[in-house]
Amino acid sequence: MKRKNLWGAAGIVVFLWFAAGLGTASEVSEVQRAIQQQGLNWVAGETSMTRLSPAERKARLGLLPPRLKLEGAGIFAGAPPALALPASLDWRNNGGDYVTFVKDQGNCGSCWAFAAAGALESYTMIQNKTPGAELSLSDQVLVSCCLECSEWQGGCNGGWIHIAAEFARARGLPKENCYKYTGGNGSCGKACANWQDQAYRIGDWNWVTEPDRPSNVEALKAALVQYGPLAVAFAVYDDFFSYKYGVYSRSAGSYLAGYHAVLLVGYDDKAKAFIVKNSWGTSWGWMGYFNISYDTVTDCRGDLTDPKNSSPGVCFGYESIAYSAVPFPGKATSVSAANYTGLELARDSICSAFGSSLATGT
């Protein structure tokens, strides 16, 4: 009797395993068919993300939905800069490699922390002129210690890259061995003692363009050339999970899955694409990277800050953050002076101070 029960349980497990596999295959096939029918320039296939359940995928899209309402902010204030830009740029090969290795955020909505920390790693190597340095900063410190970043809900439940940028300016981040990544919210008290004394910091940060308006390709390219890799935000559609290689653009019929933060490391005018580092490990995409079409920058519909907007388009770079060693000239808006409403204003007023125990989680 026990043996029959055992075989029955095993049969259920095998059935569920095959059912999940068939679901994944069917889903990927639909994306592949859409790519072919629409003449898109990328390849879809089974990936580490397509093998996950919808809830598990959602957990890896940890950027909180945009709610920013700013005027006059941004390095370029929405206008393309009048600069002679190179036809291509890749900070992995720009007189050296200024981009650290691809990490995996796991089942935690901490993409915002990985994007902000990755930008700080690149910033540090560029400032110190140390390409190829084995530098890995603590993403966990951001997740566990920047309570304001996630509206005090826990860093694995999502966060904002602009608040993380302010944390990188005011508090900084220590090396990875100070507080190794756990894939959970964790406690700031578990970080090494006096971690702020050994933290890496930025001089200042600013939005590349006004975050409540669509970005533009030339502004993102100019910021990459002038300041290095950028932490950027975009809306993820379900077809993106099956990306293998090529130049991604959204296929018609795909649906909004959530919002995501990544590290923009380069561009290529010939391919009309940006080069982007993700935080889903090296088994996804092209060794953890993806190329995304310039057209996705203007693939924006409606007000991104409207929670009822269920299909805003990819809108790549709708929020993009640059780091600088010195204060940005004529910076019109800071996190404390931003024209936010309600919770935004309260949260960022506290965040701008970063002198209270709330910022350290103690």
At residue 66, the pLDDT reads 72
**pLDDT tens sequence across 59-115:** 999 998 876 655 556 787 656 667 789 999 999 999 999 999 999 999 999 999 999
At residue 209, the pLDDT reads 74
At residue 214, the pLDDT reads 65
User: Would you put residue 90 in left (φ > 0), alpha (ψ -120 to 50) or beta?
Assistant: beta
What value does the mean pLDDT take over residues 237-243? 98
pTM attached to this predicted model: 0.86
CB 112 within 8 A of CB 120: no
Q: CA-CA distances (angstroms) from residue 262 to 265, 288, 291, 321?
A: 10, 11, 12, 11
At residue 153, the pLDDT reads 83
What value does the mean pLDDT take over residues 152-175? 94
DSSP 184: S
d(CA 201, CA 279): 21
d(CA 76, CA 81): 7
Query: Would you state the structure tokens that stand for residue 335, as one six-digit string?
Result: 């996190």
- How many beta carbons lie within 10 A of that of residue 185, not counting itself? 18
d(CA 57, CA 243): 14
pLDDT bin (cut points 50, 70, 90) of residue 151 is confident
Domain 44-360 sits in CATH at 3.90.70.10
**How many helices and strands (H and E) does the chain possess?**
8, 9
Active site positions, annotated: 111, 260, 278
What value does the mean pLDDT take over residues 228-254? 97
Residue 42 C-alpha from the chain's centroid: 21
